[in-house]
Amino acid sequence: MSVVLPYVPADGEDEVRAAFDRVLPLQSGGGQAATVAQSWFFETVVRLHRAGEHAPYTGLKPAGLDVGPVIPLAETAVESGDAELVYRLLATDLHAQLSDRLARVGQLAAGKDASVPAARAYVQAVLGFEVYANHLYRAMHTNPHGEHGHG
C-alpha cells in the first residue's frame, strides 16, 4: 500500500485504501478472481494518479510500451540531479519544430495573395505557429498540478 500511495493525490488516498481492502481477501484465493481483483486495484490507482495530473485515464497500458526518448532521460536526470540531457533533447526538438513551422509560414506567404484558399492556408499556418508557441510556453510555466508557475 505504501508503495502506491505516493503516486495518488491526497484526496484519492481513501479510495485506494478502500480498494485495497476489497482486493486483499481475494488475493489469498489465487486464480482468476485474484488476477481480476489485482487488475481492478491497479486501474483504480492509475485512474486516481491521472486525475491528480489533470489528465484523462485511458486504461492500463501493456508493459514495454514505447515511452519515447524523454522519459528515460528524465529518469536519468532524477537519479543524477542533472537535467542537461533532457534539456538538449528538448531544445533540439523545439528548435527543429519552430524552424519547420516558420518555414511553412514563409513558403505560404509568397502566394498568399493569389487566392482566398492560398490566403486561408497562410493564415492557418501563421495561427498554427503562434498557437503552438503559446501552448509550449504555457506548458513550460504550468506545474504538474495545473497551477501556473512564475516566470
Phi, psi of 142 (to 5 degrees): -120, 130
What does the DSSP assignment read for 119-137? HHHHHHHHHHHHHHHHHHH
Q: How does pLDDT run across 78-136, given as a tens digit for each residue?
A: 999 999 999 999 999 999 999 999 999 999 999 999 999 999 999 999 999 999 999 99
pLDDT tens digits for range 18-32: 988 888 888 777 788
Q: What is the pLDDT of residue 110?
A: 95
pLDDT of the residue at 143: 76
Query: What is the grid cell recorded at 97?
Result: 519544430
CA gap 56, 39 in Å, rounded: 18
